[in-house]
Amino acid sequence: MRKLAQKITAVFLLTLLFSTSNCYGASGEEYVRIRIRSPRIYNEQSSLEGYENITVYELNGYSDSLFQLEEDEVSVLLDSYFDRNFNYTPGGNKAEYGPNHVVLDDIYSSYNDAKKEAEQLEKRFNADFYPQLSTEGFKIYGGNYPGLDEAKDLQEELSGDGYAGKAVNTDMKNIIVYDGNNNAVFMYSNEMNIFFSSFNRSESCEMIKIDKKPYRGLIGFSIIESSKLISINYVDLESYLYGVVPNEIAASWGKESLKAQAVAARTYAVSCLNPYATYGYDMDDNQNSQVYMGYNSEKASTNEAVDETNGEMIYYDNKLIQAFYHSTSGGSTENSENVWSAKLPYAVGVEDEYSNRSGSPYTEWQKSYTREEIIKMLRDDGHSVRDIYSIEITKVSENNRVMECIFNTDIGEIVYRKEEARLLLGLMSSWFTIGNGSMSVSESGGVFYFTNQYTPVPSRGGILDSIIGTDSNNSDNPDSENLKGKYAITGSGTEKLTDGKVSVISSSGVSVLDTSTSSSSGTVSASGSSYNFQGRGWGHGIGMSQYGAKEMAAEGFKYDEILKHYYTGVTIK
C-alpha cells in the first residue's frame, strides 16, 4: 500500500453537477470512456492522487458529485483477499484482509451520515467500520476479515448491543478505498458507476493521477470477468484528443497533417461510442483503438490542431464514417472488404505515391523465419502441426495485399485469409511476398525437403518446389545428396526414391538430383530451410496513410484535401 497523509473523513455533500466549462475542450458535447491499461501496476489495485481533495462522482448520463474526501491520495482495491502488504492472494491463501464483513441493516441518505455513525461504532467496538454505497443507498460495513467466522463473531457482538445485521462474504462484488493507515474508509458495489477526480488550479481543469500518471477528467473502476479490476477514464472528446493525436502522429510534422489526424481520430472515437458496452468503456488506450497516454503526452502543436478543427468530423452520405488509418501504405491503400468483411464505400483503395515519397522507414521491409519458428506459430494458433512442407500465396488483391495464404503441413492444408496470415506471422502488413531461389535440400526423420533460398515470387510463396519424377536423360550431378532409398514429399504424397535421378522444379528452372551419389559441396546441401518475407507498408492499409498525410502536407495540401484523398466521396463538417 502507498502511504497516504491521513484517514479519510467526509466534509459535506456537494449538490452541484460536475462542471466542465474550464476543464475540457471547447465542444463539451461528447464524452468518451477509455480503458486505461498502461499505468496499471496490478489488476487488483491502484492508487489515486488528486491535486486537491478527491471528489467522488456517480455517472448517470452526466457526472453527479456525491461527496468529497479530505485526503488527496487513496488506494483502490478489489474487495477480495490480500496479505499484510496488500498483495492479492487468490483463494485466500496467507490472507490477512478479506471480503468477509458485517453489514448492518440501517440505510443512510448520505455518505456523511453513514460516516459519522461508522466512526461511533469504531470507538465502541474497536473494529473498522465504513460506509458502503449500493443501489439501496449507504449502509455500514464492519471489518475486512479473511474468514467468515471472524465476521460472525463481530456480528454477534453487535447483535448483543442491539444492532441488526448479518455476516456476509462479498468476494469480488465491491471495490474498496483505503487510506494511508490501511483503514477502509469507503466501499461501493460494482453495480455503481463511481468515478473520482480533483481540481487542478494551475491548469483550471478537473484532473487526477492514477498510479502517478495524470489524466484529464475522471477515473473510475469496474470489476470484469469476476476477478479483474479495470480503470476507466471518463473525459470529454476534445480533451481525449489532446492525449491521442501526439501519440498517433509526430507532433513535429506539418500542421495540416496534424489537423487531418485530429479530424480522423475524432471521427473514429465518436463512431466507437457505445452507452451499452458490456464492460462500461468505449475504447482502449492502445493500438486496439487509438493510442492515448493522457496529460503528460500532450504537445502544443497537436493541441492546436485539435482546437483548430474543433468538432469537425468526416461524413459519407451525411453519416459518420469509421475513419480507419494506418502508418504507411507502401504505394496504395486497400479496400476494406479485402482486409475485413464489410465493404465500406468510402474505404476504397487509392494509389498513394505520397506515402512512397514520404521517407517512411516502413515503405519496404523484410523478415525471415526458420521452418521451426513457423511450426511453433501454427501450434500456438491451435494447430497440432509437427512439420511444414510449403507456404503458398494463392490470392492477391488488386492492391497487392495477400488475400489467401496456404500452409501445407503434415496435418494437411491450413488456410489463412486476409489479415490472418500477417497477424500469424507478425508481419508489418499483408502486402508481402515469400522468397524463392537457389535450391537446397534438408532432411528430417529420413524425409527430404526441397526448398529455395531467396528470390521474390509475387504470386506464390516460399517452399513451393515439387519433385515431379525421374529424368534418366540428364547428366549426373556429382555435388548432389545421396537420396536413394530416402523419402520425398511430392504432389501425390510421400514417395520412396528408388531411381538414380530426380528432377525438381524451382523458380530457377529444373534441377536434377542424383539419388545414388554422395554430396560434397555445391548448390544442393542438407542445410535447414528458411522463409524470407519481403513486404511494403505498415498497418492494415485502410483509409489514411499517416506518412502519406505528412508528405501531402509538405507538398502544400490542406487537411481536408488530405482526408478526401484517402476517404472516397466524403465531406468534412
> From residue 224, how far is each of 82, 144, 191, 291, 318 by CA, in Å?
19, 21, 11, 22, 37
On whether the pTM is more than 0.85, the answer is no
List, for residues 472-522, the tens digit of each pLDDT value. Answer: 333 334 333 445 555 555 544 555 555 444 444 444 343 444 444 333 332
- Residue keyed to cell 488483391: 397
Q: Give the three cell numbers for residue 205.
A: 481543469
**pLDDT averaged over every residue in the chain:** 83
388-396, strands of its sheet edge to edge:
388-396, 402-409, 412-417
317 band by pLDDT with thresholds 50, 70 and 90: very high
For every residue of 280-349, DSSP letters joined together read S-SEESSTTS-----GGG--HHHHHHHHHTTT--EEETTEE----EESB-SSB---GGGTSS---TT---
Q: Give the three cell numbers for residue 203.
A: 491548469
**Residue 312: is its pLDDT beyond 90?**
yes
What percentage of the chain reaches a pLDDT higher than 70? 79
**By mean pLDDT, which of 77-81, 219-223, 252-256, 483-487 is the weakest?**
483-487
- The average pLDDT across 435-457 equals 42
List, for residues 337-383, the tens digit of each pLDDT value. Answer: 999 989 999 999 999 999 999 999 999 999 999 999 999 999 999 99
> From residue 35, how far is each of 213, 282, 321 by CA, in Å?
14, 8, 23
| β-pair partners for 395 | 404
- The average pLDDT across 127-140 equals 96
- Residue keyed to cell 508528405: 551
Instruction: For residue 257, give the H/E element and its range.
Output: helix 255-271
Asked if residues 76 and 46 have their Cβ atoms less than 8 Å apart, the reply is yes
List, for residues 197-249, the tens digit of each pLDDT value. Answer: 999 999 998 999 999 999 999 999 999 998 899 999 999 999 999 999 999 99
